[in-house]
Structure 1
Amino acid sequence: MDQYAKAGIPFYWRVEQAATGIPIVYTYVLDPATHAYRDGEIFTGTVKATAPFAFTVDLGDM
């Protein structure tokens, strides 16, 4: 993840599969002051994101 921060990539998402089989999405946002990622949101069920662009997806349909 540090390599992405050093490259200046503003958003980083990590997707893991929960024991239930439904994905969990962890989001991180690059802090321009520290050049490190800070925790964003955690999604289960439905992702309703506004950044880097607005979209909605039902993780149960995957």
Structure 2
Amino acid sequence: MLNENLNERMMFLADVAQIASSRANNIKDFENVFIKITTLFYSIEDFFEVDDFDILSILGSVGQ
């Protein structure tokens, strides 16, 4: 009985660790994409020599 309970707890902890790991990977992927998007917008800003290029307002207008 004690071993069964311990095995269940270990399986639960393994599931929690796997979920936490997958979420961390998703966050890292999001960070990489966001960095690429902001780099693209800053290069557009440099190319057109525009000051105060508002990335967030452009991203917001794209979604509408």
Structure 2 length-normalised TM: 0.20
Structure 1 length-normalised TM: 0.20
More helix by share: 2
Larger RCO (CA under 8 A, 6+ residues apart): 1
- Structure with max Cα Rg: 2
